[in-house]
Amino acid sequence: MLQIENLTKTYTSGNRSLTVLKNVSFSVEDSSTVAIVGPSGSGKSTLLGLCAGLDQPTSGKVVLEGINLSVLSEDERADVRNRNIGFVFQNFQLLPTLTAIENVMVPAELRGERGVYDRAFSLLEKTGLADRIHHYPSQLSGGEQQRVALARAFINKPKILFADEPTGNLDDDTSSGITDLLFNLNRDSGTTLILVTHDLELAGLTERILRLRSGEVISDTVNAPSVYNNGEKGYPA
């Protein structure tokens, strides 16, 4: 369960201030899928960052799995993230000095867990990279890197997965592969998915769509994810 209440974010630099998010409120049920869509610069990433506790809001609060993030310190929020959240980024963001499987293991290792190799391996197997586990990110294509990132996102069995433009840096064919994988893994593990995208086609695959413009939620619609299931690709109203 993720609850957002009256979230406002204002950036001030010098004497100019810019309000990027204005009074945003919504909540997301466990195991549901939500897309946040909007044009570039509308505040999607900012919102995602606040939801995941990467940054502090100017006002309002974020309650994640019953924990109020606004009162936690940076390090306490890191801990909450490690336990509850998975991330998929637009630029994959794999650690360049680690091999594929090591990248996948990092979140679990950060918990102090040991013996996570097998778990990481089976996740990589699911993403179809069983034979590439010892390769470095620089030896993998973009699509392959994003698969590793997906495996990494699921290693800690997160309650919520945040995906920021997961296909934004990929070509169409690769994109659909990643999309399939993302939704399949998500369904299998019953994770809540919050997907940020400006791609309405991708957004159409979720159960609910939040539209953002200039930092304000302008619509919140329930969507029939059947669009994905019957293979039609249309833009929901």
Ligand X SMILES: Nc1ncnc2c1ncn2[C@@H]1O[C@H](COP(=O)(O)OP(=O)(O)O)[C@@H](O)[C@H]1O
Which residues contact ligand X by CB under 6 A? 11, 13, 18, 20, 38, 40-46
Three-state secondary-structure class, residue 55: coil
User: Which of residues 93, 174, 189, 214 is near other proteins by CB under 8 A?
Assistant: 93
Chain centre distance of CA 182: 10
79 binds other proteins, rule: CB under 8 A: yes
- Can you tell me which of 15, 16, 75, 230 binds other proteins, judged by CB under 8 A? 75
In the list other proteins, ligand X, Mg ion, none, the entry touching 97 (Cβ below 5 to 8 angstroms by class) is other proteins
Residue in 42, 45, 145, 156 binding Mg ion, rule: CB under 5 A: 45
Of residues 101-130, those binding other proteins (CB under 8 A): 102, 106-107, 109-112
Binding mask 139-178 for other proteins (x = CB under 8 A): -------------x-----------x--------------
Regarding 55 and contact with other proteins (CB under 8 A), the answer is yes
Please give the angle made by the CA atoms of 159, 233 and 194, to the nearest 5 degrees: 15
Q: Tell me the DSSP string of 89-151.
A: -TT----TTS-HHHHHHHHHHHTT----HHHHHHHHHHTT-GGGTT--GGGS-HHHHHHHHHH
Q: Which DSSP state fits 69?
A: G
6: Cα separation from own chain's centroid: 21
CB 136, CB 99: distance < 8 Å: yes
Distance between CA atoms of 24 and 89, rounded to whole angstroms?
A: 23
Find the part of the chain contacting Mg ion (CB under 5 A) among 42-50, 145-153, 185-193, 197-205: 42-50
* Angle at which helices 142-154 and 100-110 cross, to 10°: 20
Query: What is the smallest separation between the CB atom of 76 and other proteins, expressed in angstroms?
Result: 9
Contact between 23 and other proteins by CB under 8 A: the answer reads no
Q: Which residues bind other proteins (CB under 8 A)?
A: 11, 13, 45, 48-49, 52, 54-55, 74-75, 78-83, 85, 87, 89-91, 93-98, 102, 106-107, 109-112, 136, 138, 152, 164
